């Protein structure tokens, strides 16, 4: 990467990049890693992880040229953080605990990790009670993290059934907002409804982003199957009315068992 960024012998495209211009590529590569994992394609995953690693190397090189930090500093920093956040495995100097790791439960490990993060924020002057959740995360993922952090302060529903009651309340508020000519208020109420649904997913132990992806895939599959059924009956999607499409849709659902 240093050679590619060399002002005299490097590549013009690589030379022109900045941290800001690279940011979208980083997101894209991360999504492609997740896609390879979800498809179970390990050969593809190997390549995608390399592409993601390139973004780390690339941005570290840009930072090094600016006199800020280099790739080695990135690696040292994450190693130090892993040691610091795993006191049940490592001593303060990074050695393994002489008697082996403390056998903590997953809940205890989560509490320890959270306490460590809170201490780091405190040392750094941070004051965000919700943990400074990155604003660039997908909205569903960010909502889950915000609500999870709020729950650690005791601000949470006691169980999933309580969240369902909240969802029904939010549906009623959306319905009421629909009766008024105020798109900003309607958007706000729909946001409240989506946030409540994210909390239901969290209480059920479901990743809302993954769940919606599965829902998207299911809809796409059923839609294409619906169109195929209409075609088999001698019609076309372009000419079919809503009752015909709904009838074909229900046939698709029944065929899925």
Residue 245 has pLDDT above 90, yes or no: yes
Place of tokens 């839609």: 223
Nearest to 59 by CA among 33, 31, 24: 24
Q: How many CA atoms lie within 13 A of 205 on its CB side?
A: 0
- Per-residue confidence (pLDDT) for residue 124, from 0 to 100: 58
Structure confidence at residue 93 (pLDDT): 92
Q: What is the pLDDT of residue 161?
A: 94
Higher pLDDT, 4 or 102: 4
Question: Three-state DSSP class for 90?
Answer: strand
Using CA atoms, how far apart are residues 111 and 119, in angstroms rounded to an integer?
A: 12
Instruction: Write phi, then psi, for 40 (nearest 5 degrees).
Output: 70, 25
The better pLDDT of the pair 251, 106 is held by 251
pLDDT digits (tens, 9 = 90+) for 174-217: 999 999 989 999 999 999 999 999 999 999 999 999 899 899 99
* Digit-coded pLDDT (tens) for 229-244: 999 999 999 999 999 9
The answer to whether residues 147 and 202 touch, using CB atoms and an 8 Å cutoff, is yes
The residues, ordered by sequence, that sit 6+ positions from 4 with a Cβ below 8 Å of its Cβ are 10, 11, 14, 15
pLDDT tens digits for range 104-138: 888 888 888 777 777 776 665 556 777 778 888 88
Of 124, 199, 130, nearest to 161 by C-alpha is 199
Which residue segments constitute the domains of the chain, with CATH numbers given?
2-123 (1.10.287.1080), 139-255 (1.10.287.1080)
The radius of gyration of the chain's CA atoms, rounded to the nearest angstrom, is: 25
DSSP letter string over 133-188? --TTS-HHHHHHHHHHHHHHTT-S-SSHHHHHHHHHHHHHHHHHHHTSS-HHHHHH
- Residue 117: CB atoms within 10 A of its CB come to 16
Tokens of 203: 């209480």
Task: Flag whether the pTM goes above 0.75.
Answer: no
Cβ-based neighbour number of residue 59 at 10 Å: 21
Q: Which residues contact 10 (CB under 8 A, 6 or more apart)?
A: 3, 4
Residue 130 CB-half CA count within 13 A: 12
Whether the CA torsion 120, 126, 128, 134 is positive or negative: it is negative
What's the pLDDT at 192? 98
pLDDT number for residue 126 = 56
**Averaged pLDDT for residues 30-34:** 94
Q: 42-80, pLDDT tens digit by residue?
A: 999 999 999 999 999 999 999 999 999 999 999 999 999
Both tokens assigned to 3: 């050679």
């Amino acid at each position: 990467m240093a050679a590619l960024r060399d002002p005299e012998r490097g590549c013009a495209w690589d030379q022109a990049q900045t941290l800001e211009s690279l940011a979208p590529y980083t997101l894209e590569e991360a999504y492609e890693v997740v896609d390879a994992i979800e498809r179970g394609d390990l050969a593809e995953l190997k390549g995608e992880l390399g592409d993601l690693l390139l973004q780390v190397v690339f941005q570290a090189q840009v930072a090094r040229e600016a006199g800020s930090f280099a790739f080695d500093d990135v690696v040292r920093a994450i190693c130090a953080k892993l040691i610091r956040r795993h006191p049940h495995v490592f001593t303060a100097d990074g050695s393994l605990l002489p008697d082996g790791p403390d056998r903590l439960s997953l809940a205890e490990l989560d509490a320890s990790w959270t306490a460590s993060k809170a201490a780091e924020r405190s040392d750094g002057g941070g004051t965000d009670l919700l943990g400074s959740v990155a604003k660039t995360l997908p909205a569903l993922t960010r909502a889950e993290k915000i609500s999870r952090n709020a729950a650690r302060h005791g601000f949470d529903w006691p169980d999933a059934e309580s969240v369902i009651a909240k969802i029904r309340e939010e549906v009623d508020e959306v319905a009421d907002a629909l009766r008024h000519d105020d798109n900003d208020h309607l958007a706000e109420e729909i946001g409240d409804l989506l946030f409540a649904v994210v909390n239901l997913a969290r209480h059920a132990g479901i990743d809302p982003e993954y769940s919606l992806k599965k829902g998207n895939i299911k809809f796409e599959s059923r839609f294409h199957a619906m169109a195929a059924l209409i075609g088999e009956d001698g019609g076309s999607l372009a000419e079919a009315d809503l009752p015909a499409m709904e009838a074909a849709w229900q046939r698709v659902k029944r065929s899925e068992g």
